């Protein structure tokens, strides 16, 4: 690469996504440089990424998933910008940051940035990639604007884990177990491999569960070799998508796409924690750090595809909550059967906060109950919004093969992945885990707002479109 002798080709306004204020994820002005040293114009994008409370410990690490979009030549929305293989690099680190690692996805959709050795604290680094102009088609990057987007993620390492809960009460709510020859519990179910199929049914040794209705599953079928089972390593969003992120997503879409993906308005939206609105033909979130409720399944899948991520499965949800620990009765994601010390709550101003003076800089394994944090320090897997997951209780869900989004959605605003469940009208294939917060003063139930890890009262219910307690969270299979 030659020395850059040109001024920045395009310098874009400050663009920042904050995945809840505790970590203060920030992206600086994305800048395009051009290099004509070899008789060809080559484009390089630079952006500075920083966030607080990063970690790399003996269990796992957090990361930022970084991706780019270019404004279309006609100005009607943005198109995903891919980069050339082996061009992603760290240009500079700042403020005593640790050694920073970078891993670009093989499909050149985005890249992960993380502390690559034991560390706890802030990370700040300047990242550079070379844009693949061949994949921009009729979009002209030299005449458009570049945007960079970042999402905080948590790495879930490979390894075996256990499905289910030893309590009879959990089985009443359709928790998983190993079947005996009569469909009765013969212990919990261990997931010990990724590419080995898992049969479901009332035969000896199969994965099974009790089900009184279609909300919990059809109790049959098989999870094939490509169904993501949670044994292989993957990244999961540290927090649920925020209203600020969803507003930025809407702002990047074309007119027709945006009309179908707009999720705000109607009775109850603004009185039940919704804050997205329009101002001067632009989408804004009054409270950008709030989890994005009122997000239907098709809304969530469009956002996942646009981000280069994918939906998670019921099994991956369990792994992210529990890790390799042996289950205990009525266990929550923070590792015990009590809600008494959870200080991660929706306050009277409708914001999800840490109360009693806690800061995420204080998070440790010994106090993760206070933070509502999972074994791997994933936040809010119970108690904020219901987590939509690909269900094992429906043939459409079982056909899921774990394909990733490519950053581009259809003209009408839908995800393009053929193996993903589709539709908000009970077609089937997805369900809900983790519990959700509805409104102030509503009495707690056995699974609201905090649901034990193994409870599946709606594990196969593909209903509930845009509702105050429904959200989503996305993952990406880790690459070696």
pLDDT in tens, 323-381: 999 999 999 999 999 999 999 999 999 999 999 999 999 999 999 999 999 999 999 99
Task: For residues 226 and 142, give the distance between their C-alpha atoms in angstroms, rounded to a whole number.
Answer: 40
pLDDT of amino acid 424: 79
3-state secondary structure the chain: CCCCCCCCCEECCCCCCCCCCCCCCEECCCEEEEECCCCCCEEEEEEEEEEEEEEECCCCEEEEEEEEEEECCCCCCEEEECECCCCCEEEEECCCCCCEEEEECCCCCCEEEEECCCEEEEEEEEEEEEECHHHHCCCCHHHCCEEEEEEEEEEECCCCEEECCCCHHHHHCCCCEEECCCCCECCCEEECCCCCCEEECCCCCCEECCCCCCCCCCCCCEECCCCCCCCCCEEEECCCCEHHHHHHHHHHCCHHHHHHHCCCCCCCCHHHCCCEEEECCEEEECCCCCECCCCCHHHHHHHHHHHCCEECEHHHHHHHHHCCCCCCCCCCCCCCCCCCCCCEEECCCCCEEECCCCCHHHCCHHHHHHHCECCCCCECCCCCCEEEEECCCCHHHHCCCCCCCCCCCCCCCCCCCCCCCCCCCCCCCEEEECCCCCCCCCCCCCCCCCCCCCCCCCCCCCCCCCCCCECCCEEEECCC
Task: For residues 421 and 462, give the distance between their C-alpha atoms in angstroms, rounded to a whole number.
Answer: 9
pLDDT of amino acid 18: 35
| Per-residue buried b or exposed e for 229-257, using 16+ beta carbons within 10 Å of the residue's own CB | bbbbbbbbbbbbbbbbbbbbbbebbbeeb
Whether the pLDDT of residue 400 is over 90: the answer is yes
pLDDT of amino acid 42: 87
Rg of the chain's alpha carbons, rounded to an integer?
Answer: 22
Q: What is the mean pLDDT of residues 283-302?
A: 97
For the entire predicted model, the pTM comes to 0.95
Task: For residues 70 and 80, give the distance between their C-alpha atoms in angstroms, rounded to a whole number.
Answer: 6
Task: For residues 104 and 229, give the distance between their C-alpha atoms in angstroms, rounded to a whole number.
Answer: 23
The top-level CATH class assigned to 157-480 is alpha beta
Whether the pLDDT of residue 303 is over 90: the answer is yes
pLDDT of amino acid 141: 62
Q: What is the mean pLDDT of residues 202-225?
A: 96
What confidence tier does 19 reach under pLDDT thresholds 50, 70, 90? very low
Whether the pLDDT of residue 413 is over 60: the answer is yes
What confidence tier does 143 reach under pLDDT thresholds 50, 70, 90? low
Whether the pLDDT of residue 425 is over 80: the answer is no
Mean confidence (pLDDT) of the chain: 92
pLDDT of amino acid 22: 63
pLDDT of amino acid 140: 63
Q: What is the mean pLDDT of residues 89-103?
A: 88
What confidence tier does 295 reach under pLDDT thresholds 50, 70, 90? very high
Task: For residues 434 and 384, give the distance between their C-alpha atoms in angstroms, rounded to a whole number.
Answer: 9
Residues 6+ apart with CB under 8 A from 47: 27, 28, 29, 30, 31, 66, 126, 127, 148
Q: What is the mean pLDDT of residues 295-303?
A: 97
Task: For residues 276 and 100, give the distance between their C-alpha atoms in angstroms, rounded to a whole number.
Answer: 35
- Give the least confident one: 85-99, 182-196, 406-420: 85-99
What confidence tier does 211 reach under pLDDT thresholds 50, 70, 90? very high
Q: What is the mean pLDDT of residues 131-153?
A: 82
- Phi/psi class of residue 438: alpha, beta or left (left: φ > 0; alpha: ψ in -120 to 50)? alpha
Beta bridge mates, 474: 311
pLDDT digits (tens, 9 = 90+) for 252-285: 999 999 999 999 988 999 999 999 999 999 999 9
Task: For residues 104 and 108, give the distance between their C-alpha atoms in angstroms, rounded to a whole number.
Answer: 7
Range(s) for CATH 3.90.1580 in the chain? 157-480
pLDDT of amino acid 289: 96
Give the pair of three-digit tokens for residue 204.
Answer: 């000896």
Whether the pLDDT of residue 387 is over 60: the answer is yes
Give the pair of three-digit tokens for residue 363.
Answer: 């998070």
pLDDT digits (tens, 9 = 90+) for 226-254: 999 999 999 999 999 999 999 999 999 99
Q: What is the mean pLDDT of residues 39-59?
A: 92
Give the pair of three-digit tokens for residue 213.
Answer: 């209705």
């Amino acid at each position: 690469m030659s020395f850059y002798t040109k001024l920045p080709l395009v310098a874009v306004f400050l663009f920042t996504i904050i995945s809840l204020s505790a970590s203060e994820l920030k992206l600086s002005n994305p800048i395009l440089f051009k290099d004509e040293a070899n008789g060809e114009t080559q484009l390089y994008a630079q952006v500075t990424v920083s966030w607080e409370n990063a970690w790399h410990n003996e269990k796992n690490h957090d990361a930022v998933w970084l991706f780019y979009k270019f404004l279309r030549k006609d100005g009607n929305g943005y198109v995903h910008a891919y980069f050339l293989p082996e061009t992603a690099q760290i240009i500079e680190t700042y403020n005593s940051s640790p050694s920073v690692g970078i891993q670009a996805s093989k499909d050149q959709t985005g890249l992960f940035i993380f502390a690559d050795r034991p560390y706890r604290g802030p990370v700040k680094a300047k990242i550079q990639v070379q844009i693949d102009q061949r994949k921009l088609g009729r979009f002209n990057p030299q005449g458009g604007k570049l945007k960079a987007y970042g999402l905080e993620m948590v790495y879930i390492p490979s390894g075996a884990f256990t499905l289910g809960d030893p309590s009879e009460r959990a089985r009443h709510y359709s928790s998983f177990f190993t079947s005996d020859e009569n469909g009765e519990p013969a212990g919990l179910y261990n997931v010990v491999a990724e590419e080995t199929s898992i049969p479901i049914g009332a035969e000896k040794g199969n994965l099974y569960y009790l089900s009184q209705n279609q909300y919990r599953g059809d109790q049959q079928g098989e999870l094939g070799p490509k169904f993501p089972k949670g044994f292989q390593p993957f990244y999961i969003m540290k927090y649920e998508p925020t209203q600020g992120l969803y507003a930025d997503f809407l702002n990047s879409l074309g007119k027709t796409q945006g009309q179908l993906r707009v999720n705000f308005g109607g009775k109850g939206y603004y009185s039940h924690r919704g804050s997205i609105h329009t101002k001067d033909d632009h989408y804004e979130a009054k409270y950008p750090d709030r989890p994005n409720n009122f997000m239907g399944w098709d809304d969530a899948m469009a956002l996942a595809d646009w981000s280069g991520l994918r939906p998670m499965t019921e099994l991956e949800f369990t792994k992210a909550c529990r890790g390799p620990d042996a289950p205990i009765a009525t266990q929550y994601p923070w590792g015990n059967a009590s809600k008494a010390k959870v200080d991660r709550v929706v306050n009277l101003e409708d914001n999800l906060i840490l109360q009693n003076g806690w800061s995420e800089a204080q998070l440790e394994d010994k106090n993760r109950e206070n933070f509502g944090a999972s074994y791997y320090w994933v936040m809010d897997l119970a108690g904020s919004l219901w987590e939509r997951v690909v269900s094992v209780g429906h043939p459409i869900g079982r056909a899921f093969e774990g394909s990733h989004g490519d950053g581009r959605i259809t003209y009408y605003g839908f995800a393009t992945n053929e193996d993903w469940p589709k539709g908000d009208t009970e077609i089937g294939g997805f369900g809900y885990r983790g519990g959700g917060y509805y409104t102030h003063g509503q009495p707690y139930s056995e699974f609201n707002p905090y649901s034990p890890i193994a409870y599946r009262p709606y594990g196969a219910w593909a209903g509930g479109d845009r509702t105050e307690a429904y959200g989503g969270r996305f993952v990406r299979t880790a690459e070696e």
